[in-house]
A and B are shown apart, each in its own frame.
Chain A
């Protein structure tokens, strides 16, 4: 394929990525940008050209040992749900934008430590970027048909231009916001797409090799097994090799947390910690798929390709050998994707670290303090952009100068070993409060020195005397050997110095906030301890320079509202200091933020005991507030209950008033009648028969009066449950017959027939006198409302599960439907309380209801009856 065509492919591919990033940035709020799959796929930045090409190389030469690099992350993933969640929460709370910021903040935003971490990352990652460029360059030359590819100089080298294009891409999309803790959705979307492309194209190559060049895996296995060193390629090695495995797994376990690009995609770009749940099972699956065909491609390459070619590129060369140029091109683009995503995310993370942890805190801060917000934002962006370009350029020159001697795999491993030096301060820092900044710095320095001595020096010396290995344990690979010594020395130094020295109060404060982060999540600014003097105006001026007036005012008014602080408050407290530190941390890093705030405040030292007691106090206040809140909630619930109870009492009171009113009214009627009659009787001229009539009226009204009084007392007795009931198992049939006997005479006089349908003989549990009273009342009502000579009253008996039902029905004028619900109320009131109820139903039914209720029974009027009334009551069944 001619050079220009290949370059055209590369440029169009990069243009597509630009377009995608731009498109996503414009639609950053869309749901498809913020989903767990994008998150999971962006984690795929772990798979670089090293994975894409290097694994095959290793598999073809030394067997399955490449798998160790993927086993570490697979083992780490289940831990993520606890560990990574904690890291993400801490980072979001403190607006952390890189691993350097994370570690330096943990140790009391220590400026030097942040710089140390940044330098470690630079040492580890720049060769790694160089390795990516090397892969691009070499694959390019393999695909190119122009033999004149051997570049005469940098300006002839296509890789150089590719590097520049990548730098432009990162500089453009990576620095849109000065707040580095903000997510960069455009870049993340391209990384996710690249993760898909590299996987799919690699699998395509695998399928082609296994199923088109060979007749499936079995065929490939049979043929490969005849090659001389096949045994070695498929075994896991002995015990000694086991150690190598162990160390590789350990290395990659650390790398998945500590690599700047992994920290960036997993923590800084995390949109929602719930995304972790999907990532922990999908990401291992992604890694598994990626490694599916590695071993087969390696075998196939060993079988088909001459020994002179670089085994790293078997996946590209195998289709090329068959003349499948387009497939090779796909493989090339897949590898190119792996390269781009790695370089993009790495330089992005590194440039933030370089600007926030080296350039700004060491030297640029003064200039920023003097600048206005717009200038500052531009300056910060410019610093990051220059850092990005420089990083890529340095990597490029590193590649030109050194990497020709090294394989993809070994540079990758060296990089991992260097990054692993952050592990003691990072992991101990998460769980051990004693760790101090000094110990962290010494630990990292010791670790790096040992790596230099055991791993880097031999490479340099190797040029002079091959196979020199310092501190060498013979059965370990150089990388495992270096890892073992460096991490041991590092951890020992860290633990040792932590135990020997005590951190200052700031370190203790952040130690507490990181280790027991769940205690302080709700406390937020309240978890920060600070004593000293500072003025709000100074802090405001400072924030203005970096955030601009609008954002500063907005942030401060939110802060004041949150803590109920007056806008006119002049003195700043610890919470405002911490709040401002966080605001600035996203923009200029935690170390610079601390220095800046220290410049406008007079800080006074606090003893360790004070720190702990203040923290404890804050926690308690928080807990007490919670308790108070709960109590006040309980109180308000009780108040509501009381109000309801009161309301009920008031209603009962009103009912009682109404009852008394009605009683008075009922009593007044016969009294009025008696009084009026006795007055007219004074008239001596009244005829005797009329006089007789008036006297009779008086007598009747007196009876009415005494009956009323008796009923009222009876009802009162039943209501207050003072009526003693003689409840026993009795024969209801006999009681009914007794009741009928009581009204027989009146019924006969009125010509009304009373029938009792004795279908059953039942026993009920009741007080006979009281039930007799109920029956008599119901029968009397029926008698009253049935027509003379035509009336029929019928009593029916029904057996239910646990009770017996007695029904009294008649063919009288019936009960109006609107009255059904009221007839059992004492002096029931119709809708219009001045309309009188029909005679006789005043107290009687109310008393019946009380009696039946005191028997745990029920009484009601049958609403479905068309003609006449039908009243039913139930009482418990007897034995």
Chain B
């Protein structure tokens, strides 16, 4: 497992595009998934160090995806960050209770996201 591997899961291509650019710039190996199922497949294959996960997605939502990631022994060390427009306290608590490592609300600052990720894998 490489800590410099990052998986971005979001169905908004414009947002993904910005994140991808920023992380590549910091020499991360970036993988992209548009929904939960795709994310699980890539994560299982690539074993990324960090996963940026949106909550509201087609097919499988972020919560379900997180549960499956946490069920996978091989992804035990992978850090998962929720990137969500859901900003209510109850949403954040729910995420933390499910074992998320960080919760970042949209709209976010790219610099802060990159900074958080880099700090986590240090």
Q: Which residues of A are interface residues toward B (Cβ below 8 A)?
A: 661, 664-665, 668-673, 675-677, 679-680, 683, 686, 690, 693-694, 697, 700-701, 832, 834-836, 838
Contact A836 B11 (CB under 8 A): yes
A834 to B88, CA, bound (A): 14
A873 to B109, CA, bound (A): 45
Contact A673 B12 (CB under 8 A): yes
Which of A665, A679, A690 has a CB less than 8 Å from the CB of B110? Answer: A679
Q: From residue 81 to 113 of chain B, which have CB atoms closer than 8 A to chain A?
A: 85-86, 88, 106-111
Contact A669 B106 (CB under 8 A): yes
Contact B109 A679 (CB under 8 A): yes
Q: Residue of A at shortest CB range from B35? A: A836
Please, what's the 1-or-0 string for B50-69, where 1 marks a CB less than 8 Å from any CB in chain A?
A: 00000111111111000000
6 contacts between A and B (CB under 8 A): A672-B107, A673-B14, A694-B21, A832-B61, A835-B59, A836-B58
A176 to B109, CA, bound (A): 101
Residues of A contacting B58 in the complex (Cβ-Cβ under 8 angstroms):
835-836, 838
Contact B17 A697 (CB under 8 A): yes
Contact B110 A672 (CB under 8 A): no
A693 to B14, CA, bound (A): 10
- Is B25 among interface residues, defined by CB-CB distance under 8 A? yes
Least distance between B93 CB and chain A CB atoms (Å):
15
- Is B40 among interface residues, defined by CB-CB distance under 8 A? no
Residues of A contacting B19 in the complex (Cβ-Cβ under 8 angstroms):
676
Q: Residue of B at shortest CB range from A690? A: B21
Q: Residue of A at shortest CB range from B11? A: A836
Residues of A contacting B15 in the complex (Cβ-Cβ under 8 angstroms):
669, 672-673, 676
Contact B62 A834 (CB under 8 A): yes
Contact B61 A680 (CB under 8 A): no
A409 to B121, CA, bound (A): 127
Contact A683 B110 (CB under 8 A): no
Which of A669, A679, A693 has a CB less than 8 Å from the CB of B12? Answer: A669
Which of B17, B25, B85 has a CB less than 8 Å from the CB of A664? Answer: B85
Residues of B contacting A679 in the complex (Cβ-Cβ under 8 angstroms):
18, 22, 109-111
Q: From residue 3 to 58 of chain B, which have CB atoms closer than 8 A to chain A?
A: 11-12, 14-15, 17-19, 21-22, 25, 55-58
Known: A669-B85, A671-B107, A672-B107. A680 touches B22 (CB 8 A): yes
Residues of B contacting A700 in the complex (Cβ-Cβ under 8 angstroms):
14
A665 to B106, CA, bound (A): 9
Contact A683 B25 (CB under 8 A): yes
Contact B21 A835 (CB under 8 A): no
A677 to B15, CA, bound (A): 8
A693 to B16, CA, bound (A): 13
A679 to B62, CA, bound (A): 25
A836 to B58, CA, bound (A): 5
Which of A694, A834, A835 has a CB less than 8 Å from the CB of B18? Answer: A694
A665 to B105, CA, bound (A): 11
Residues of A contacting B60 in the complex (Cβ-Cβ under 8 angstroms):
835
A671 to B111, CA, bound (A): 16
Q: Residue of A at shortest CB range from B108? A: A672
18 more A-B residue pairs beyond the given contacts A673-B18, A701-B14, with a C-beta to C-beta distance below 8 A? A668-B106, A669-B15, A669-B106, A671-B106, A672-B12, A672-B85, A673-B15, A675-B109, A676-B22, A677-B18, A679-B110, A679-B111, A680-B110, A683-B21, A690-B21, A700-B14, A835-B61, A836-B58
Residues of B contacting A836 in the complex (Cβ-Cβ under 8 angstroms):
11, 56-58
A534 to B107, CA, bound (A): 87
Least distance between A30 CB and chain B CB atoms (Å):
68
A307 to B12, CA, bound (A): 128
Contact A835 B12 (CB under 8 A): no
A686 to B24, CA, bound (A): 12
Contact A672 B106 (CB under 8 A): yes
Q: Residue of A at shortest CB range from B83? A: A672
Residues of B contacting A694 in the complex (Cβ-Cβ under 8 angstroms):
17-18, 21
9 closest A-B pairs by CB: A676-B18, A834-B61, A672-B107, A668-B85, A673-B14, A672-B106, A679-B110, A697-B14, A665-B85
Contact A834 B85 (CB under 8 A): no
Which of A672, A675, A697, A835 has a CB less than 8 Å from the CB of B56? Answer: A835
Residues of A contacting B25 in the complex (Cβ-Cβ under 8 angstroms):
683
Least distance between A721 CB and chain B CB atoms (Å):
31
A89 to B18, CA, bound (A): 94
Known: A680-B21, A680-B22, A701-B14. A834 touches B56 (CB 8 A): yes
Known: A673-B14, A673-B18, A701-B14. A665 touches B108 (CB 8 A): no
Least distance between B60 CB and chain A CB atoms (Å):
8
Among B14, B61, B88, B109, the most chain A Cβ lie within 10 Å of the Cβ of B14
A834 to B59, CA, bound (A): 9
A671 to B106, CA, bound (A): 9
Q: Residue of B at shortest CB range from A668? A: B85
Q: Residue of B at shortest CB range from A681? A: B18
A661 to B11, CA, bound (A): 19
A669 to B88, CA, bound (A): 16
Residues of B contacting A697 in the complex (Cβ-Cβ under 8 angstroms):
14, 17
Least distance between A598 CB and chain B CB atoms (Å):
78
